[in-house]
């Protein structure tokens, strides 16, 4: 099974190769190749998922040795490292594979319509194929090394895709920003992987789980820090970079410069999910490190809250979704941080579906009205009924309305956070920020819906030209909207106390299996069980209340216009300013790190390049070449030509002259010579005889 | 006298005469400008060789073949003198001289 699963990642990779080499010459610029490839992946991934559903558990893996390295003698714990890579199929993988292939397939399908007629159409499909291949490879990896390779490949693809409209300066800047910002996290993450090799000599997930269960690695230090905490924080930094967590969240909103299907792919189903997926894969290690998890929780909670606040004031439809993505990713990270591991993973899956739907719907709207500014939209409900319906369903899901998928996962995360704060006194900020975010999320999502689809058309011309999209674009929306219902993941309503009568909980069963595999199966004491039960009950009520409040406030402000948003804006004053400028993070980074640090460093490098590399190495090399040329030229002239060529001739002519002196033409001289030669010859002959 | 007589009736005496004759011939050949003088020197050298042949045949082998070779040498010397004189005659017609140093046309 694991070998066949490799095909899932290989199909899009092959599509990428074909597309990038001959895509332009193919009919339709080869878009069908990419779509068919990802469909092939989906077809291969489905049986694995169905096996999980029917048997409740899948596990398979295979390994190949990539290379054996003789280690440095200085390594205390491991003197030699054998790098073994392979494929790991477990419940997590099965769910992720289906989610990624399905979302990616629908996004590919949507792209066929959305990107129609664009320049570099074939390259777009090449890139998203590579992107899908990288994400699927990452999910399939059984070790952090290939995981990291795919992780970096996605960074590359995000760079290429965000900068796809390469003629727009803002797109280029955004692509560089995304690439550089994630690079910070990636570098630290790689140090974490190095740390893992240092203490365990492997980065295989199953080996790590086993090692942690056995308790090895405690007491080892790296750079003076406890090894597990060090690795845990480095892994967290990787996640912070890739999943756009505070304080490295700045790249994600700018990444909206890419084509909308790309936003859906990067920011819903694949890349940002990879960061959370990493946390989930490494959860046993984070848990064993003790100090890491609270930090994870705080990072997630702060990110969720701050991003949600920014989303309120955005007017660009994609920017709203971008900040909501950051906010929801914060939820997932928070979920992992408070130990609500399965809830975090569930939110990853549910969010992927409804956020992909939201992004594609926004793409549909943008494609229709040719603007991203919500102030120029309005009244699109009747013009684009399918888009409206699907986007509304997805909005209900993200806002946490019962019966929809987002409610189930978010409620569980919030319950977990509340339970965490009850168990660990003093961490009240985490659930507080969580609930506040839930309310704000409902508020801004409904604000977006109202501004886009309800009310009167604020731009008559654009409204007039708006139209519903063709089927290739609406079918993905409908499928993704259908996946936004709670029943797909849990019981009919998602409220645990009601649904325990009819257990359809394939997801929970799957996650329990994973926890056993990881060695972190929860065995709660009755008291803890009671606390959890109480927390979840309380969380349910509070989250329903805040979501309801958010929707209510949004409705009276943006639908009924009983409250004026402008008045609030003026009332909030400096606060509004702060949020509108995204807490001045960009300015901060630009001012402190880029201008003060990086730019100076760049200038230093440029000077070095100019003065040292160019002058000394390049020009110096020229000088050396000139001198060498002269020396060789002289050698050629003097030694080869003069000495050897001319010299030979001179020797010959000189010899000729010498010999010519004997040829006097005088018979008697010849005779004298003859006699002398004979005398000499006889003399020597005589010597010989004696 | 007795010593001289014994010398004259021994091989060494003949060889000494041959050697003196040979040296005189060589000297003549090398020093004469006149082509006929050179020819005379050659005759002396040939006859020195003939004396040697006769001496060796008389004192060493006791056979007659050495003396026959001496006769051959005389014969060839006569023929050679005839040819050489003819050459000298032609040369004189060409250059109005019989100085051997003038016979250097082939050199340049």
Split at pLDDT 50, 70, 90, the class of A505 is low
**B contacts of A665 (beta carbons < 8 Å):** 103-104, 106-108
Q: Which contiguous run of DSSP H or E holds residue A109?
A: helix A91-114
**A contacts of B101 (beta carbons < 8 Å):** 666, 668
Contact A174, A163 (CB under 8 A): yes
Q: Which of A663, A668, A672 is facing B100, going by the closest CB pair? A: A668
Q: Which of A113-117, A157-161, A426-430, A626-630 has the highest mean pLDDT?
A: A626-630
| Beta-carbon separation of A668 and B106 below 8 A | no
| Beta-carbon separation of B30 and A671 below 8 A | yes
Q: Which of A663, A668, A675 is facing B107, going by the closest CB pair? A: A663
Q: Which of A663, A667, A678 to mutate to test the interface with B (most CBs of B within 10 A)?
A: A667
Phi, psi (5° rounding) for residue A129?
-65, -45
**B contacts of A672 (beta carbons < 8 Å):** 30
Number of CB pairs, chain A paired with chain B, less than 8 A apart: 26
In this prediction, residues A108-127 reach a mean pLDDT of: 83
Q: Which of B26, B31, B103 is facing A667, going by the closest CB pair? A: B103
Contact A358, A394 (CB under 8 A): yes
In this prediction, residues A28-41 reach a mean pLDDT of: 84
In this prediction, residues A1-24 reach a mean pLDDT of: 85
Over 70: is that where the pLDDT of A64 sits?
yes
In a domain, B105, yes or no: no
Q: Which of A300-309, A353-362, A624-633 has the highest mean pLDDT?
A: A624-633
Split at pLDDT 50, 70, 90, the class of B3 is low
Contact B29, A671 (CB under 8 A): yes
Question: B18: domain range?
Answer: 7-97
Contact A324, A445 (CB under 8 A): yes
Structure-model confidence comparison of residues B100 and A519, the more confident one: B100
In a domain, B20, yes or no: yes
What percent of chain A has pLDDT above 90? 5
Q: What residue in A sits closest to B99 (Cα-Cα)?
A: A666
User: Using the 8-state DSSP alphabet, how is residue A141 labeled?
Assistant: B
Rounded Cα–Cα distance for residues A344 and B38 (Å):
131
Which residues in chain B (79-108) have CB-CB distances under 8 A to chain A?
100-101, 103-104, 106-108
Over 80: is that where the pLDDT of A47 sits?
yes
Over 90: is that where the pLDDT of B85 sits?
yes
Residue with tokens 């992909």: A356
Question: For A509-568, what is each residue's pLDDT tens digit?
Answer: 777 777 777 777 666 677 777 777 777 788 888 888 888 888 888 888 777 777 776 777
Rounded Cα–Cα distance for residues B1 and B10 (Å):
14
In this prediction, residues A223-252 reach a mean pLDDT of: 84
In a domain, B56, yes or no: yes
In a domain, B89, yes or no: yes
| Beta-carbon separation of A671 and B29 below 8 A | yes
**CA of A625 vs chain B CAs: smallest distance (Å):** 54
Rounded Cα–Cα distance for residues A275 and A244 (Å):
9
Q: What residue in B sits closest to A662 (Cα-Cα)?
A: B107
What burial class does residue A147 get, using C-beta atoms within 10 Å of its C-beta: 0-12 exposed, 13-18 middle, 19+ buried? buried
Question: For A295-349, what is each residue's pLDDT tens digit?
Answer: 888 888 888 888 888 888 888 888 888 888 888 888 888 888 888 788 888 888 8
Rounded Cα–Cα distance for residues A227 and A154 (Å):
28
Count CB neighbours of B40 within 10 A. Answer: 15
| Beta-carbon separation of B26 and A668 below 8 A | no
Nearest to A259, CA basis, from A112, A389, A137, A424: A112
Q: Which of A663, A666, A672 is facing B101, going by the closest CB pair? A: A666
Question: For B32-42, what is each residue's pLDDT tens digit?
Answer: 888 899 999 99
Rounded Cα–Cα distance for residues A277 and A348 (Å):
8
Q: What is the DSSP string of A452-506?
A: HHSS--SSHHHHHH--PPPHHHHHHHHHHHHTTBGGGTSSSS--HHHHTTS---H
In a domain, B2, yes or no: no
Residue with tokens 């699907």: A390
**CA of A662 vs chain B CAs: smallest distance (Å):** 11
Residue with tokens 């009568």: A501
Contact A286, A330 (CB under 8 A): no
Domains identified in chain B, total number: 1
Q: Which of A22-31, A74-83, B65-74 has the highest mean pLDDT?
A: B65-74
| Beta-carbon separation of A667 and B100 below 8 A | yes
Question: For A415-459, what is each residue's pLDDT tens digit?
Answer: 888 888 888 777 888 888 888 888 888 888 888 888 888 877 777
Rounded Cα–Cα distance for residues A308 and A312 (Å):
7
What burial class does residue A521 get, using C-beta atoms within 10 Å of its C-beta: 0-12 exposed, 13-18 middle, 19+ buried? exposed
| Beta-carbon separation of A666 and B100 below 8 A | yes
| Beta-carbon separation of A664 and B104 below 8 A | yes
Q: What residue in B sits closest to A661 (Cα-Cα)?
A: B107
Question: What is the three-class DSSP state of A165?
Answer: coil
Residue A457, pLDDT score: 72
Residue B45, pLDDT score: 92
| Beta-carbon separation of A665 and B106 below 8 A | yes
Structure-model confidence comparison of residues B72 and A114, the more confident one: B72
Q: Which of B30, B106, B108 is facing A668, going by the closest CB pair? A: B30
Question: For A573-590, what is each residue's pLDDT tens digit?
Answer: 777 777 677 777 777 777
Rounded Cα–Cα distance for residues B64 and B61 (Å):
8
Contact A52, A162 (CB under 8 A): no
Q: Which of A665, A668, A672 is facing B107, going by the closest CB pair? A: A665
In a domain, B108, yes or no: no
Q: Which of B29, B32, B104 is facing A666, going by the closest CB pair? A: B104
Over 50: is that where the pLDDT of A501 sits?
no
**B contacts of A663 (beta carbons < 8 Å):** 107
Rounded Cα–Cα distance for residues A240 and A181 (Å):
10
Split at pLDDT 50, 70, 90, the class of B107 is low
Over 50: is that where the pLDDT of A362 sits?
yes
CATH code of B43's domain: 1.10.287.3510
In a domain, B107, yes or no: no
Nearest to A259, CA basis, from A400, A160, A402, A138: A160
Split at pLDDT 50, 70, 90, the class of A613 is confident
Residue A503, pLDDT score: 44
Q: Which of B23, B25, B30 to mutate to test the interface with A (most CBs of A within 10 A)?
A: B30
In a domain, B69, yes or no: yes
Residue with tokens 């569930």: A346
Nearest to A68, CA basis, from A202, A158, A254: A202
């Amino acid at each position: 099974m694991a070998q066949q699963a490799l095909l899932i990642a290989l199909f899009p990779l092959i599509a990428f190769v074909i597309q990038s080499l001959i895509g332009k010459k193919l009919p339709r610029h080869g878009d069908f190749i990419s779509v068919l490839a990802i469909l092939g992946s989906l077809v291969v991934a489905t049986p694995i998922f169905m096996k999980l559903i029917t048997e409740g558990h899948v596990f398979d893996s295979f390994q190949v040795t990539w290379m054996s390295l003789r280690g440095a003698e200085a390594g205390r714990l491991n003197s030699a490292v054998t790098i073994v890579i392979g494929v790991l199929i477990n419940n997590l993988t099965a769910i992720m594979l289906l989610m990624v292939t399905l979302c990616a397939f629908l996004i590919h399908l949507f792209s066929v319509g959305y990107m129609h007629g664009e320049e570099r159409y074939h390259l777009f499909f090449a890139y998203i194929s590579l992107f899908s291949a990288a994400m699927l490879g990452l999910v399939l990896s059984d070790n952090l090394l290939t995981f990291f390779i795919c992780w970096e490949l996605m960074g590359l693809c995000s760079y290429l895709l965000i900068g796809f409209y390469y003629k727009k300066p803002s797109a280029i800047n955004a692509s560089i920003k995304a690439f550089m910002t994630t690079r910070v996290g990636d570098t630290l993450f790689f140090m974490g992987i190095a740390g893992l090799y240092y203490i365990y000599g492997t980065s295989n997930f199953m080996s790590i789980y086993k090692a942690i269960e056995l308790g090895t690695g405690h007491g080892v230090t790296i750079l003076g820090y406890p090894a597990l905490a060090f690795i845990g924080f480095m892994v967290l930094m990787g996640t912070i970079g890739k999943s756009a967590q505070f304080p490295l969240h700045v790249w994600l909103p700018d990444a909206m410069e890419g084509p909308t299907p790309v936003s859906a792919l990067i920011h819903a189903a694949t890349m940002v999910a990879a960061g959370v997926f990493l946390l989930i894969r490494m959860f046993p290690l984070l848990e064993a490190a003790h100090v890491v998890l609270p930090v994870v929780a705080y990072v997630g909670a702060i990110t969720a809250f701050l991003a949600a606040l920014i989303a309120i004031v955005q007017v660009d439809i994609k920017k709203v979704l971008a900040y909501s993505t950051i906010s929801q990713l914060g939820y997932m990270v928070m979920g992992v941080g408070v130990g609500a591991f399965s809830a975090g993973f569930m939110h990853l899956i549910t969010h992927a579906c409804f956020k992909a739907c939201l992004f594609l719907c926004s793409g549909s709207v943008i494609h229709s009205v040719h603007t991203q500014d919500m102030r120029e939209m309005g009244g699109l409900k009747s013009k684009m009924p399918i888009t409206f319906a699907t986007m509304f369903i997805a909005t209900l899901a993200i806002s946490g309305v019962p019966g929809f998928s987002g409610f189930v996962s978010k409620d569980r995360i919030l319950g977990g956070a509340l339970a965490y704060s009850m168990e660990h006194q003093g961490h009240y900020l985490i659930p507080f920020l969580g609930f506040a975010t839930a309310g704000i999320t409902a508020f801004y999502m409904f604000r977006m819906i109202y501004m886009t689809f309800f009310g009167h058309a604020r731009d008559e011309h654009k409204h007039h030209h708006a139209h519903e999209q063709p089927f290739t674009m609406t079918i993905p929306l409908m499928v993704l909207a259908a996946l936004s219902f709670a029943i797909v993941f849990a019981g009919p309503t998602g409220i645990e106390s009601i649904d325990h009568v009819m257990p359809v909980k394939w997801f929970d069963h799957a996650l329990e299996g994973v926890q056993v595999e990881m060695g972190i199966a929860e065995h709660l004491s009755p008291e803890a069980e009671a606390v959890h039960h109480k927390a979840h009950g309380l969380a349910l009520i509070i989250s329903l209340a805040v979501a309801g409040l958010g929707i209510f406030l949004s409705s009276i402000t943006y639908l009924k216009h009983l409250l004026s948003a402008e008045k609030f804006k003026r009332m909030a004053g400096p606060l509004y300013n702060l949020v509108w400028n995204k807490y001045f993070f960009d300015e901060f980074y630009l001012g402190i790190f880029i201008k003060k640090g990086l730019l100076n460093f760049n200038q230093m490098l440029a000077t070095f390049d100019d003065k040292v590399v160019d002058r000394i190495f390049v020009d110096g090399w020229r000088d050396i070449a000139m001198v060498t040329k002269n020396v060789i030229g002289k050698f050629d002239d003097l030694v080869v030509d003069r000495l050897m060529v001319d010299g030979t001739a001179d020797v010959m002519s000189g010899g000729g002259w010498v010999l010519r002196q004997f040829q006097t033409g005088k018979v008697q001289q010849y005779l004298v010579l003859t006699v002398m030669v004979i005398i000499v010859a006889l003399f020597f002959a005589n010597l010989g005889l004696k | 006298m007795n010593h001289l007589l014994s010398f004259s009736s021994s091989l060494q005496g003949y060889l000494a005469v041959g050697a003196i004759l040979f040296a005189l011939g060589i000297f003549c050949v090398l020093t004469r400008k006149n082509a006929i003088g050179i020819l005379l020197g050659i005759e002396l050298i040939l006859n020195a060789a003939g004396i040697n042949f006769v001496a060796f045949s008389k004192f060493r082998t006791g056979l007659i073949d050495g003396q026959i070779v001496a006769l051959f040498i005389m014969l060839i010397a006569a023929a050679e003198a005839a040819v050489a004189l003819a050459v000298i005659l032609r040369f004189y017609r060409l250059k109005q001289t019989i100085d051997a140093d003038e016979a250097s046309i082939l050199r340049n």
